[in-house]
């Protein structure tokens, strides 16, 4: 009996010290900002304890930028226990090493440079019109479940629709335009445990680099430019149950003021401007007045030219597959025949 007790105890201790392991594949597509920098990518991610490996296929899809797409698969290993990133060049059998401290300096320098550029240079007529030529009202936010038990990539999901609408009055003409930040999320409760491993890893990495997950990577520029709209919606989205299998985001703004300033018709009165903005909200850019109107909003945003809207940003992210199980620890090490690039 005593021997059996110690066997059970040892098994319990052994189970407790096995690091969490998960493998999953994700895909992303985006039209970029104002149609610039459009891309597609697929990434295989392997996580084991304090180590992560990513294998990414990335390519720009625009006519000009596509020639700048990386060649082959980009492989990167992140080691929290060693505070280092390793990036590999399979063709040359070499790798580069970036300590966390160096990466943090690079992030800080990039943020400062971006802020300086925004303050010291013109950022384009469309962006200038959105950011500085309007007096924006307080954003109106709604997040609601629109469907249940949907099959998305083999996962049982509930679909949620989140919208933020903001009406802005053009300072020079008095014309009203409507900005819409719309996000469809298909969320699955069955993946919470598996993806918690990935969430915990990203949280620890963000803390090691000294920044929050919400303010980093793909959201950095979007969050800085349209903070009121994005932050409000993101806070509401955190209340959704489950893990997002698929997220489809779209950011648009109507261009009535732009058309007016270009001489396409007379400048509307304040009453006429009010009607334009209300029509936009109720008929094409809303999502705030019922499921049918939300569906119309999706159709109109998908074809922004039908409403005279300008697409600022578009992004789709989805989990293709996921599994838990043992991962070869050598996948998180530098191969013996690779040389460090100085």
Same domain? 201 vs 313: yes
pLDDT tens string for the chain (342 positions)? 444 333 333 333 333 334 579 999 999 999 888 778 899 999 999 999 999 999 999 999 877 777 778 888 999 999 999 999 999 998 889 999 999 999 888 877 765 444 444 444 444 444 444 455 788 888 888 889 999 999 999 999 999 999 988 898 888 888 888 888 889 999 998 887 778 888 899 999 999 988 754 444 444 444 445 566 566 677 777 778 888 999 999 988 887 766 665 554 443 333 333 333 434 433 333 333 334 434 444 444 444 444 567 888 889 999 999 988 899 999 999 999 999 997
- Under a CB-based contact definition with an 8 Å cutoff, are residues 64 and 45 in contact? no
pLDDT confidence of residue 277 = 40
DSSP string, 252-306: EEE-HHHHHHTTSSPPPPHHHHHHHHHHIIIIIS--SS-HHHHHHHHHHHHSGGG
Instruction: Find, among 249, 267, 250, the residue nearest to 258 by Cα.
Output: 267
Same domain? 224 vs 86: no
Does a structural domain hold residue 302? yes
Give the domain extent around 336: 17-103+329-340
Same domain? 154 vs 27: no
Cβ neighbours of residue 111 under 8 Å, at least 6 residues apart?
220
Does a structural domain hold residue 6? no
Same domain? 317 vs 333: no
Q: How do residues 284-326 score in pLDDT, each as one tens digit?
A: 333 333 344 344 444 444 444 445 678 888 899 999 999 888 9
Does a structural domain hold residue 225? yes
Same domain? 129 vs 97: no
Same domain? 334 vs 245: no
Q: How do residues 186-210 score in pLDDT, each as one tens digit?
A: 999 888 777 888 889 999 999 998 8
Same domain? 37 vs 179: no
Same domain? 63 vs 158: no
Does a structural domain hold residue 240? yes
pLDDT confidence of residue 269 = 37
Dist CA 101 CA 105 (whole Å)? 6
pLDDT confidence of residue 20 = 76
Same domain? 307 vs 333: no
Same domain? 44 vs 175: no
Same domain? 251 vs 208: yes
Does a structural domain hold residue 11? no
Does a structural domain hold residue 275? yes
Dist CA 230 CA 164 (whole Å)? 8
Specify burial of residue 274 (Cβ count, 10 A radius: 0-12, 13-18, 19+): middle
Dist CA 232 CA 228 (whole Å)? 6
Map residue 126 onto helix, strand or coil.
helix
Does a structural domain hold residue 3? no
Residue 195 CB coordination number (10 Å): 19
Tokens of 267: 């400048």
- Under a CB-based contact definition with an 8 Å cutoff, are residues 252 and 180 in contact? yes
Q: Looking at the whole model, is its pTM more than 0.75?
A: no
Does a structural domain hold residue 154? yes
What's the number of domains the chain is made of?
2
Same domain? 265 vs 233: yes
């Amino acid at each position: 009996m005593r021997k059996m007790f110690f066997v059970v105890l040892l098994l319990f201790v052994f189970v407790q010290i096995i690091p969490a392991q998960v493998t999953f594949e994700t895909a992303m597509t985006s039209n970029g900002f104002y149609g610039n920098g459009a891309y597609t990518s697929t990434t295989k991610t392997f996580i084991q304890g304090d180590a992560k490996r990513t294998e990414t296929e990335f390519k720009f899809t625009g006519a000009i930028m596509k020639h700048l797409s990386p060649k082959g698969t980009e492989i990167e290993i992140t080691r929290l226990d060693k505070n280092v990133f390793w990036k590999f060049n399979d063709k040359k059998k070499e790798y580069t090493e970036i300590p966390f401290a160096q990466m943090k300096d690079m992030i800080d320098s990039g943020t400062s440079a971006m802020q300086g550029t925004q303050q010291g240079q013109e950022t384009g007529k469309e962006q200038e019109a959105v950011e500085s030529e309007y007096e924006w009202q307080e954003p109106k936010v709604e997040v609601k479940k629109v469907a249940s038990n949907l099959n998305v990539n083999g996962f049982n999901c509930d679909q949620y629709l989140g919208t933020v609408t903001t009406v802005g009055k053009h300072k020079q003409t008095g014309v009203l335009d409507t900005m819409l930040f719309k996000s469809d999320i298909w969320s699955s409760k069955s993946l919470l445990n598996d993806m918690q491993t990935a969430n915990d890893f990203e949280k620890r990495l963000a803390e090691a680099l000294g920044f929050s997950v919400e303010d980093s990577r793909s959201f950095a520029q979007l969050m800085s430019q349209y903070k009121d709209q994005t932050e409000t919606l993101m806070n509401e989205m955190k209340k959704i149950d489950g893990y997002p299998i698929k997220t489809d985001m779209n950011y648009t703004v109507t261009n009535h003021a732009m058309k007016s300033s270009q001489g396409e018709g007379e400048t509307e009165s304040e009453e006429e401007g009010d009607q334009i903005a209300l029509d936009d909200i109720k008929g094409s850019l809303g999502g705030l007045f019922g499921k049918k109107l939300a569906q119309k909003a999706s159709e109109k945003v998908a074809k922004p030219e039908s409403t005279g809207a300008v697409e600022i940003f578009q992004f789709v992210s989805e989990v293709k597959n996921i599994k838990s199980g043992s991962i070869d620890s050598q996948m998180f090490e530098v191969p013996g025949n690779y040389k460090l690039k100085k």
